[in-house]
A and B are shown apart, each in its own frame.
Chain A
Amino acid sequence: MGLPTAPISTQRFLEVAKTITFKKGMPRQRMTYVPHPVSGRPPEVVRKYLEGNDPVSGKPILEELLAALTRPLDDEEKKTGFVTRPPRPRLIGPHTPANLERMMVENGWTDGLPVVLPTEARVAAMLKGTRRAPGEIVGLMRPSPPHEGWEYTVEMVAANAVMAGARPEHLPVILALASTGVTSLFSSTTSFARMVLVSGPIAREIKMNSGIGALGPFNEANAVIGRAWTLMSKNLGGSIAGETYMGSQGNNLNYNNVCFAENEAALPAGWKPFHVQKGFKPEESVVSTFTGWSLINHAGAAARNKEEFKRVIAGLSASGMGMGVGQAVILLDPIVARDLGESFDTKEKFGAWLIQSLAAPGRVPGMGAAMEIIVVGGEANPCLTIGDFSYISSARVDPWR
């Protein structure tokens, strides 16, 4: 704007403010802080904050704000040019393996679980999973729009894939995921989760699980691909708790990001695979991402008739999940999908019926604006899981083979 500006924020965002102002090129930004939080506080409490002192600087808040707008700039504040970032070495070491493992944990480069050290030999072996050059730029990722984006190459992605315990055959999916630039650790104080779905032939080729236990810890490919996304989000996307990640409670789903494959073989006649619904060809391999907060399992036999099904969904969504944001992903066990397939010959018709049904009087807020239907499960129980997730984007896997 070219106008003198005095930002004011709450004390809890001190580190975030320092990080952002530094990375945006205004390290001397004249910040003022009030006690935290202000959200939900009555006006008389907020007024008392403002009449008092900045909890960070100790100065009277009102005076500090006015001085921010009127005190002449010093030489540092008028500076132009560039800030030199530390050079990025291609290799780290040599150190003992124990020291490297400890360094990675202490620097926040892992998810807290042991990682496979990405030695040159292991990364070279991983790179056999793609014909793309190690130095090729894959993408750029940031924790959320205000933050800076970090760029990364095929080799950097491969290093994170090694850390996650992946094999070369998993790398094309991980590269495709990296190419979306979507972080799995989106920085919001509400603690977002992500979901990743793999569709098409590659799911079978790398033996992903779309059947019994598909959402659980029972399959290598499901586990390492989801985990690699979290590691990439930290190491390639700059997610740092307290600085660029502010999820107040965090989200346990971030460990694996609900990574699974759709049970395409179990789709009722006329029900298209998810990636085909999004415009891809059936023979293409695609990775898709979703954003939300939580999953609720119906934990029991789902209804067979439409009216009962509507009540089940309404009941689940009334639980308050997702803060009523008007989005949902419904994961149907194949038994339920088959039953519904008798009444609805496409996923779209089922989804439209559900949205219309829930839009009727007594509608539960938050349901209906965007609904994705995915079939997954092993037919052990006619159950369903509903998540307050919405679709973000998809990327083709085949170009990364």
Chain B
Amino acid sequence: MTRRFGRAAPGWLLIAIMLQAPSAFPQEQKISIVNPRGELPAIRLVPMAPRLDTLEGKTVYLIAVSFAVPLMPELQKLLSERYPRTTWVLKEKAGSYFDDDPKLWAEAKEKSNAVIMGVGH
């Protein structure tokens, strides 16, 4: 066989042997594995801010985040038409979804009573 197949013989034989060989574990044997998953952090519950009794006479910031930009101007128009006794102020958050905007949060805290935040495509 070696003379006929030359250097191919050993590899060919090896494959034939492997096809016959038992798998690494007999399938009926039960084994354990090391958990490959990471450690999940604890979740601290954050209570929601108290709600307003009424929106009349109040200022609400409408904050657009990234791709939600087309949505929020239309929302401002509609809310202004339907609820004219509330002031609806349109704002755009700086940067992408991942960027913080502490200046805007501070402004909202100072100048508004509530926020509607638009996120998404």
Using CB atoms and an 8 Å cutoff, list the residues of chain A in contact with chain B.
1-10, 12-13, 22-30, 34, 36-41, 43, 46-47, 49-51, 62, 65-66, 69-73, 77-83, 85-86, 88-98, 100, 109, 117-120, 123, 141, 144-146, 148-152, 155-156, 158-160, 162-163, 189, 231, 235-238
Closest A residue by C-beta to B62:
A8
Find chain B residues with CB under 8 A from A93 CB.
30-33
| Cβ-based interface call for B103 (8 A) | no
Q: Is the interface of B mostly helix, strand, loop or mixed?
A: loop
User: Can you report 18 A-B residue pairs in the complex whose CB atoms are below 8 A from each other?
Assistant: A6-B114, A10-B121, A12-B120, A38-B120, A43-B74, A46-B74, A49-B71, A69-B52, A69-B55, A91-B33, A96-B31, A109-B36, A118-B33, A150-B41, A159-B35, A163-B36, A231-B36, A236-B37
Flag B32-58 by CB within 8 Å of A: 1 or 0 each.
111111111111111111111111000
| Bound-complex Cα distance A26 to B75 (A) | 25
Find chain A residues with CB under 8 A from B48 CB.
4, 26, 28-30, 73, 77-78
Q: Judging by beta carbons under 8 Å apart, are B79 and A62 in contact? A: yes
| Cβ-based interface call for B112 (8 A) | yes
Q: Judging by beta carbons under 8 Å apart, are A82 and B74 in contact? A: no
Find chain A residues with CB under 8 A from B68 CB.
8-9, 38
Find chain B residues with CB under 8 A from A156 CB.
34-39
How extensive is the interface on chain B, given as a class?
Answer: 35 or more
Find chain B residues with CB under 8 A from A23 CB.
43
Using CB atoms and an 8 Å cutoff, list the residues of chain B in contact with chain A.
23-25, 27-55, 60, 67-68, 70-71, 73-75, 77-79, 82-83, 97-98, 105, 108-109, 112-121
Find chain B residues with CB under 8 A from A236 CB.
36-38
Q: Judging by beta carbons under 8 Å apart, are A69 and B51 in contact? A: yes
Q: Which of B51, B54, B108, B112 has the most CB of A within 10 A?
A: B51
Q: Judging by beta carbons under 8 Å apart, are A117 and B70 in contact? A: no
Q: Which of A69, A80, A144 has the most CB of B within 10 A?
A: A69
| Bound-complex Cα distance A72 to B109 (A) | 20
Find chain A residues with CB under 8 A from B42 CB.
82-83, 85
Find chain B residues with CB under 8 A from A6 CB.
114-117
* Total residue contacts A-B, CB cutoff 8 A: 243
Q: Judging by beta carbons under 8 Å apart, are A12 and B121 in contact? A: yes
| Bound-complex Cα distance A307 to B35 (A) | 55
Closest B residue by C-beta to A115:
B36
Find chain A residues with CB under 8 A from B79 CB.
62
| Bound-complex Cα distance A159 to B120 (A) | 36
Find chain A residues with CB under 8 A from B60 CB.
69
| Bound-complex Cα distance A85 to B37 (A) | 14
Given A4-B52, A13-B120, do A120 and B34 touch, yes or no (CB 8 Å)? yes
| Bound-complex Cα distance A262 to B44 (A) | 45
Q: Judging by beta carbons under 8 Å apart, are A150 and B116 in contact? A: no
Find chain B residues with CB under 8 A from A24 CB.
43, 46
Q: Judging by beta carbons under 8 Å apart, are B121 and A189 in contact? A: yes
Given A5-B49, A70-B54, A77-B47, do A96 and B27 touch, yes or no (CB 8 Å)? yes
- What's the minimum C-beta distance from B59 to chain A, rounded to whole angstroms? 11
Q: Judging by beta carbons under 8 Å apart, are B108 and A3 in contact? A: yes
Q: Which of B39, B60, B77 has the most CB of A within 10 A?
A: B39
Q: Judging by beta carbons under 8 Å apart, are B31 and A7 in contact? A: no
Partner of A146, one of B55, B98, B115: B98
| Bound-complex Cα distance A146 to B23 (A) | 44
Given A2-B49, A36-B121, A50-B78, do A91 and B36 touch, yes or no (CB 8 Å)? no
